[in-house]
Structures are given as structure tokens and as C-alpha cells.
Amino acid sequence: PIDFNDSLYAKKVLAENEDGTPKVIYFYKKDKVGQPTNEKVHERYLYPGNKKYIDGNIANENRDGLWYAYFKDGTVQTMAHYVNGKENGQYTVYHGNGKVYYTGKFALGKRVGKWTFYDEQERLTKTVDFDEVNNRNINLK
């Protein structure tokens, strides 16, 4: 990921936590003379104390690329890929101990294929085939 503390980007704090640390930060491209443009390229949401909560890139005002959500201790809670603001591609959620909770794929905001679910020791607990679920739902209409 790009380091959005870099001087190439303008940072705007939109909200603060109760402790005065930033809660919502948007990052914008700068023009040739170093002035901020209106082109937002990244969003960051923080827990109190400047700990990341949600972090990801923006393109054309939509989530785009890899986005992360974090537990308060800094470990990854969710990794999701986005295209034009919709989940698209691999999607993985973790237990607080870092083990995979569930994983699967999205196709432009719609769950597809087999999703697998695990307990906190990463033992498989169930699978769901969303292609079958989606087809059943279509047939019910």
C-alpha cells in the first residue's frame, strides 16, 4: 500500500475521536504546484490513539483496490478487494487470534462460489456454495 503520510498527498481530518486524535482522514492528490486537488485517493478511519480501524484506496469517489479493517490491537480483521465501490474478488475475515474466520469471493458485490467458515482453531465448520444459493433465489422470484 501507498504510504499516505507522504508529502505527495494532502491530508484532511474530517472528524476526531473523544481523545482528540483523528477519527476520519481523507487523502487527496496534489497538483503540480503542491496544492490539494478535489481528487480523493484514500480514506482512513481510526480508533482513539491513532490506531487504524479501516484503510483503503479511492478511485472516482468509490472504494477501489484492497481495503483492510483492523481489530483494536492492530491485527487484521478483514481484507476485501473492491472495484467501483463493490466487493470484487477475494474476501477474508479473521478471528481476533489471527486465524481465518471465513473466506470467499465476490463478483461486483454479489457472493459467488464456495465460502468456507472456520472456528478459532481454524478447523472447518461449514461451507456454503453461493452459486447454488443465488440460483435458488433467482428461481424463487
Check whether 140 has a pLDDT greater than 60: no
**Main-chain dihedrals φ then ψ at residue 103, nearest 5 degrees:** -150, 150
Check whether 60 has a pLDDT greater than 90: yes
Residue with the three cell numbers 470484487: 88
- pLDDT category of residue 131 using cuts at 50, 70 and 90: confident
User: pTM to 2 decimals?
Assistant: 0.85
> What value does the mean pLDDT take over residues 66-79?
96
